[in-house]
Structure 1
């Protein structure tokens, strides 16, 4: 016979569903006022223009940071051709990130020359550059509008994964 009434599993499921509903309700945008009320979320033209300038400025800065990282990848590949196979997918991803951030097609800033004396240390430097870039994107997303913040969060997460992969590749190259 099946037991009727409230079970522990049912109570936990209901509690989880209620908590999830509360979290999802809290994730909505807006200033806490309902649509149609006197204080709608319509922004003035000046506020929209300011938001667009902020978005463009943040995008340009983040794109420059990604292009600088891309230049570092290019530098390592030129200096150590044996790393090309391992770096190509990561370099292509960084190129895609830079393109996603900037529609202006700006030029990469030239980073300082690598001080590495071998491929392993060059990969370690590249991993450190990936971590710095991910940290910069993470800091920028706090000031960014929602769409750009999501893009920056995704790119920062990819950068953290790249840093890990580069560290592992450096270990393999050194041995």
Structure 2
């Protein structure tokens, strides 16, 4: 018995031909005006660079605020410094990666809690807020920055978990 109708090969060939035709018809600038061919591309790249710069600045500022919280907590509670130092160093590396060389210090906004356990819990909450802020920026970020923000957000979530466990183990 002989097959009739559309085969898979025929459907794929037709789909490829339609896609190729659509791609080729979009290659010209369409209106025939005296607009340089690279002008829309250059404008789009400039806009994307501005969005990336704004997102990096915001993310770096958020990470610097978190780094400031670590510094305050370690200064207020030196006994917790051993457990907090590796996490603080990771946050410092994240801040450096986001800030692209420039980084101003933030003014201390609120002192660390007097109780060590409470201070570590507050630090865990700050880590969660920072991770959430970085995650929220993912949809607007270009691919390379999005990957960086995703890894920093994942590290922040892990830090929050570790800080929560450290708070449970810390004596008041």
User: TM bucket by the smaller chain?
Assistant: 0.7 to 0.9
The equivalent position to 1:109 in structure 2, one of 106, 110, 115, is 106
Contact 2:63 2:94 in 1 (8 A): yes
Once the two structures are superposed, what CA deviation does each residue of 1:11-48 show, in whole Å capped at 9, x if it has no partner? xxxxxxxxxxxxxxxxxxxxxx66x73436x8610110
- In the alignment, structure 1 residue 57 sits paired with structure 2 residue 54: yes
Alignment length, in residue pairs? 142
The 8 Å contact of residues 137 and 156 in structure 1, kept in 2 or not, is answered as yes
CA change 1:70–1:115 in 2 (3 A) is: closer
Q: Give the superposed CA RMSD.
A: 2.0
1:64/1:108 contact within 8 Å kept: no
The TM-score normalised by the length of structure 2 is: 0.76
* Alpha-carbon shift at residue 114 of structure 1 (Å): 3.0
Kindly report structure 1 stretches of 4+ aligned residues shifted beyond 6 Å.
none
**Structure 2 alignment gaps of length 5 or more:** 1-18, 28-37
> Matched residues in 1 for 2:112 and 2:57: separation?
28
Give the Cα separation in 1 of the matches to 2:112 and 2:97.
Answer: 30
- Between the aligned partners of 1:72 and 1:81, the Cα distance in structure 2 is 14
Instruction: Point out the structure with max Rg over C-alpha.
Output: 2
Please, what TM-score do these two structures have when normalized by structure 1? 0.75
